[in-house]
Structure 1
Amino acid sequence: MHIFGKILGGFFGFLFGNVFGLFFGLFIGHQFDKARRLNQAGFRSGAFGSGPSQTERQEEFFKAAFAVMGHVAKAKGQVTAQEIQLATTMMERMNLHGEQRRAAQNAFREGKDSGFPLDSVLERVKISAAGRFDLLQFFLELQISAAFADGQIHPSERDVLHKIAKGLGFSSAQLEQRLRMQEAAFRFQHGGGAHQGGQHSGAWQQESQADHLAAAYDVLDVSENAESKEIKRAYRKLMNEHHPDKLMAKGLPPEMMNVAKEKSQDIQNAYDLIKKVKGFK
């Protein structure tokens, strides 16, 4: 039985306001006891309990991601077959089939609508991510990755990405940093010429290797002259922010696990290459 709040409320109410204060204090104390009882029973503040469940937040995050992708694709004007293919590629990266794929396609179509409410959708994303920086960063990087799937960012796409970044709480400088890192990741992923021995001249291979290494530094966002200590610190920070298991624990939709794994693998591969060239452990 919860009466502690009523006792305190009644005592101090009577002390400061006589009989009227007593009744007011009892009322305040009752509200305190009621909230305490609900909390111990497993509820949180709010008229109807604890709000959306983890699964509901993940679904909201998932649908918003594809809807915003559709909005970014529409930024250049009419959505072309290429943009649709890019969305399809993203669905394949997530291994989406059946109902999941249909949900992603429907959300993508909603994002292409001229009246798409970008600001309100981004507000819901922040709610579904519960303010967790890592999840919001993943959402932004997902949009950058989708926009950059063809190897370049159109000026109109860049403008929309700036709006998305601002809506999620990121500065223009933070967005530009992630754009540089995504471009580097694209170059790093497609810089395999150095490993195709015999197909190119030695000079071309050396140039390709140099470009591949430069991209690796950019993936970690460090300079080529950085000391091993700085490189390790940058690597650990990025891995901590992008580790798939940690993102899942914070509410990343399970459908997006493969994308998170790819991102962390890019970071790992870039670090391994730099570590090999620099000769540190």
Structure 2
Amino acid sequence: MHIFGKILGLFFGFSFGGPIGAMFGLFIGHQFDKARKLRDAGFDSSFGNGPNQQERQSEFFKSAFAVMGHVSKAKGQVTREEIELASTMMERMNLHGEQRRAAQEAFREGKQSGFPLETVLERVRISSGGRHDLLQFFLELQISAAFADGELDPSEREILHIIARGLGFSSAQLDQRLRMQEAAFRFQQGGFGGQQGREHTGQSGWQQKSSHNQLSDAYKLLGVESDADAKTVKRAYRKLMNEHHPDKLIAKGLPPEMMNVAKEKAQEIQNAYDMIKKTKGF
């Protein structure tokens, strides 16, 4: 706990300036303690000046793949599906050369025993400035890694709860995201999440596949009940699109390499909303 600077600032401020000086000294001491916290977390900083945008993006990028590697090892052995997911994620991000090697190295580090998960998560929170949208994106990447083989093992669920807490999310928030991701996985399998599905089904196939189960998954993907009215569905859709808008995420510090992943997530949300509108006649 960093309070040494506050104590010194309060003491000297009061000694030289009375109550007003004490307030000023407390402020200066707080900035000093904040700088120490950043430095202890692995960043070079001085009086609150943290890493620049590029450094924060690099920290986010490497941590994402390292934690992904840690999640993949949750069951004791990394499966072929989980290795393929990491490779697919690198392809989606168009990683080549040094960037790809950095991602692979981070993924391997995450698989090592003694990986300092909680310390890494703390650094992610600091490097992201505590921005909810960025931390949520980070969590969703890890949920995707856990769902690589289409199911969630109890050990993977336990790790995800640790990750969620480390990023500042409650168990209830994680459970909601897990339900949404599970529905998204099924939704994509039904051909609504990507170009491949559309090529095989076409417009008539899209209509034919609009079964009750697929519609139910579309609602769950948006995080609403299947009997939700048009206003509720639209509000949920707008909230999710605002949280996952690629340009907004990049502006807040998302690494440019992850832009395509953000675009795909936004398209997934759009597809679910379009299906509900078309089927329900909203």
Matches within 5 A, 1:206-221: 209-221=211-223
**2:66 corresponds to:** 67
**1:228 corresponds to:** 230
The one-letter code of the counterpart of 1:210 is H
Per-residue deviation, residues 172-210 of structure 1 (Å, max 9, x unmatched):
11111101100111111111389748xx9xxxx967622
2:130 matched to 1:128? Answer: no
Q: Is the 8 A contact 1:191 1:208 kept in 2?
A: no
Mapped to 2, the partners of 1:211 and 1:81 lie a distance apart of: 29
Q: Is the 8 A contact 1:191 1:211 kept in 2?
A: no
Normalised TM-score (structure 1): 0.79
The one-letter code of the counterpart of 1:185 is A
Mapped to 2, the partners of 1:88 and 1:168 lie a distance apart of: 25
Q: Is the 8 A contact 1:94 1:257 kept in 2?
A: yes
- Count of matched residue positions in the alignment of Structure 1 and Structure 2: 245
2:90 matched to 1:91? Answer: yes
- Helix, strand or coil for the counterpart of 1:75? coil
Mapped to 1, the partners of 2:201 and 2:52 lie a distance apart of: 50
Q: Is the 8 A contact 2:59 2:124 kept in 1?
A: yes
Q: Is the 8 A contact 1:213 1:274 kept in 2?
A: yes
**2:190 corresponds to:** 191
Q: Is the 8 A contact 2:133 2:244 kept in 1?
A: yes
The one-letter code of the counterpart of 1:84 is I
The one-letter code of the counterpart of 2:222 is L
| Larger mean Cα displacement after TM superposition, 86-95 or 134-143 | 86-95
**2:144 corresponds to:** 145
**Structure 2: runs of 5 or more not aligned:** 1-12, 29-33, 36-44, 192-196
**2:114 corresponds to:** 115
Mapped to 2, the partners of 1:150 and 1:187 lie a distance apart of: 12
Q: Is the 8 A contact 1:75 1:160 kept in 2?
A: yes
Per-residue deviation, residues 37-75 of structure 1 (Å, max 9, x unmatched):
xxxxxxxx8573622001100100000000000100111
**2:4 corresponds to:** none
* Superposed displacement of residue 152, structure 1: 1.1
**Structure 1: runs of 5 or more not aligned:** 1-12, 37-44
* Superposed displacement of residue 78, structure 1: 2.2
**1:269 corresponds to:** 271
**1:249 corresponds to:** 251
- Helix, strand or coil for the counterpart of 2:211? helix
RMSD over aligned CA atoms reads 2.9
* Superposed displacement of residue 81, structure 1: 3.3
Mapped to 2, the partners of 1:149 and 1:263 lie a distance apart of: 16
Q: Is the 8 A contact 2:164 2:171 kept in 1?
A: yes
Q: Percent identity?
A: 74
| Larger mean Cα displacement after TM superposition, 71-80 or 258-267 | 71-80
